[in-house]
């Protein structure tokens, strides 16, 4: 029986996401035996420190990429929002699976909506993107850094350390925790992270067998949307932890609609742009919106981080 090894982080969500890709591979290729190779990442171990300034979200992918490069695995499954926009030498993105919900959700201890939280309420998030948008909307809230897996973050509510947390809807759905959501935050309030809700399968660039097996997993509309979003970040010289947001959706006539944002972490300034372009050239659209952001003053904001 032919085998295929997928390296993944050890967190419950990462394992769940790797199993999603594994099940799809098995359906597409009857007789293929897919095995998960769990690995701990630096990002999972360094829970007492903020991601910014310590390698950003790349801390979650480095060990997995090493496993690919040294031949210990045939593929790695990543949350696209964690994957750096420049591929390491020798690796490539083989597929992006159909996107789940791209947005964020609020889970509050008392089941309150965001606008109902009393002044001074402690809201936890690890993301500068979320922090800048929350602070702009509700400057009276106390936005606190929050690390750990999804269950650990939610547990801070039970311990009384926070009144609310903001998490990705897709992760909560995949873990069967959607019933905990107090409020779904629309993109008008909280523009999603680049690639949020989408899973990517990373491969060795020279592994033709893996590329052939993984290619049918790719969902072209999701691929185009995520590539447009990633082009925004890449053109800005930003990383996964920068206060940058972008969200693309398909439109009729093979076009994409893209929104993008850069904000000061304290929320005192948010720059938002939007535009449309051909789905055949998604990166061109992303680069164009990045130039609009830079023209509106995004460069000095990012340079101060």
Residues with catalytic roles: 82
Distances (CA, A) of 283 to 279, 289, 304: 9, 10, 26
Burial call 59-78: b when 16+ CB within 10 Å, e when fewer: bbbebbbebbeeeebbbbbb
* 3-class SS of residue 156: helix
Distances (CA, A) of 291 to 73, 233, 267, 286: 38, 11, 21, 9
Q: Which residues face 183 on adjacent strands?
A: 106
Burial call 268-288: b when 16+ CB within 10 Å, e when fewer: eebbebeeebebebbbebbbb
* C-alpha span between 239 and 15 (Å, rounded): 24
Distances (CA, A) of 52 to 7, 68, 145, 198: 25, 25, 11, 22
* C-alpha span between 151 and 110 (Å, rounded): 18
Helices (H), 58-127: 62-69
* C-alpha span between 98 and 85 (Å, rounded): 19
- Decide: 293 and 275 in contact? Cβ < 8 Å: no
């Amino acid at each position: 029986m032919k085998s295929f090894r997928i390296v993944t982080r050890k967190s419950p969500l990462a394992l769940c996401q790797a199993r999603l890709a594994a099940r799809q591979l098995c359906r597409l290729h009857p007789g293929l035996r897919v095995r998960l190779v769990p690995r701990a990442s630096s990002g999972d171990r360094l829970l007492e420190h903020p991601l910014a300034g310590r390698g950003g979200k790349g801390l979650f992918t480095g060990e997995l990429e090493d496993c690919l490069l040294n031949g210990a695995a045939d593929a790695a499954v990543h949350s696209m929002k964690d994957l750096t926009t420049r591929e390491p030498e020798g690796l490539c993105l083989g597929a992006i699976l159909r996107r789940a919900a791209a947005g964020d959700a609020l889970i509050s201890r008392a089941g309150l909506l965001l606008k109902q939280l009393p002044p001074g309420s402690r809201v936890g998030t690890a993301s500068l993107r979320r922090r800048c948008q929350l602070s702009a909307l509700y400057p009276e809230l106390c936005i606190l850094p929050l690390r750990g897996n999804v269950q650990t973050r939610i547990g801070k509510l039970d311990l009384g350390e926070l009144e609310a947390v903001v998490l990705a809807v897709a992760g909560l759905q995949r873990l069967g925790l959607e019933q905990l959501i107090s409020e779904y935050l629309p993109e008008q309030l909280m523009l999603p992270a680049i690639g949020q809700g989408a899973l990517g399968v990373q491969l060795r660039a020279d592994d033709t067998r893996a590329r052939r097996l993984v290619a049918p997993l790719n969902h072209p509309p999701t691929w185009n949307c995520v590539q447009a979003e990633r082009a925004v970040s890449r053109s800005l010289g930003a990383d996964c932890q920068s206060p940058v947001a972008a969200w693309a959706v398909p439109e009729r006539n093979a076009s994409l609609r893209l929104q993008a944002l850069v904000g000061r972490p304290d929320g005192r300034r948010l720059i938002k742009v939007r535009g449309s372009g051909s789905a055949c050239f998604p990166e061109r659209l992303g680069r164009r919106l990045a130039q609009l952001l830079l023209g509106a003053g995004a460069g000095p904001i990012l340079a101060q981080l």
